Structure 1
């Protein structure tokens, strides 16, 4: 994997708050740009198909409002987030998906392009343990149509996160 923010296939440089944060942290990543369909609503599935990657390796970044405050859960696009498991992982009893406007305001990204890296407000972050099955995974690079490929260990280190089972069985 290269440590760069140069997009493949001659599409030029892609700079987002996520790539700036990754470069600043010295995290190796590979950028992947694809044509986003503005009619798409399942952004993770769109990314998996466009990038030709199995859906288990593409992860979505979701914000949850718990009784201890906001938290980030990162699960495969082939899975559903278990909000209660995420809440428990961050020491809370209850949780609910954050409203889109809150997620956008706190992360600095638009829904469908929320990256775990470079968020405006650093939040407790939990990566689902399914990610550990892969050498690298794909997450949003900070905009729709742009993913970054990183190792799960680097994602956890860069977000000061933790790993737990947070997907629904």
Structure 2
């Protein structure tokens, strides 16, 4: 996998470049009317939804944390809370998520956030050679090795994703 530096620079791509991590940018045409950013990325890029991950901000005991799960499913809040040693988790307020990360909804990357937060990545990522996460803006995904994402975000892995029903 080569490192591609283009005008698509975001804090996420800058963090990867600074760490010397190989990654591939996957820009796509974002439809402002879309309701599901992650599914939009998977369809637009023609990549299996199990390899495209969404970044979700979660509130746990008054602090924010990051959950990274495949777009083909949902975040199990109870499993997420357990993964970081808490009893309960709820989805974070969207405005708080944007302030904390410096990104807009639909473009929140687990990388290069304004303030880092505890991060949990769904264990399914470990079975993949590469995965895709938001590149820091709508219409841009980054492909990288799961081990690199785990290392750069100091993440733990746990079974926090569920299948969509």
TM (norm. structure 2) is 0.96
Q: 2:146 aligns with which of 142, 149, 152?
A: 152
Provide structure 1 residue ranges, at least 5 long, that are not aligned to the other structure. Answer: 7-12
Provide structure 2 residue ranges, at least 5 long, that are not aligned to the other structure. Answer: none
> Are the counterparts in 2 of residues 31 and 147 from structure 1 also a CA contact under 8 Å?
yes
Q: 1:46 to 1:75 in 2, by over 3 A?
A: same
Counterpart residue number, 2:9: 15
TM (norm. structure 1) is 0.93
Deviations 1:56-114 (A, max 9, x none): 00000001000162110000000110011111111111110001001100010000000
Q: d(CA) in 1 for partners of 2:97 and 2:62?
A: 16
Counterpart residue number, 1:36: 30
**By how many angstroms is 1:24 displaced?**
1.0
Q: 1:91 aligns with which of 57, 65, 85?
A: 85
Q: d(CA) in 2 for partners of 1:101 and 1:3?
A: 32
Aligned length in residues: 163
- C-alpha RMSD of matched pairs (Å): 1.0
| 1:52 and 2:70 matched | no
**By how many angstroms is 1:135 displaced?**
0.3
Deviations 1:7-60 (A, max 9, x none): xxxxxx210010011111111110010000011110001000110001000000
The residue correspondences of 1:1-169 to structure 2 (distance < 5 A) are 1-6=1-6, 13-67=7-61, 69-168=63-162
Q: d(CA) in 1 for partners of 2:29 and 2:63?
A: 35
Counterpart residue number, 1:9: none
**By how many angstroms is 1:4 displaced?**
2.8
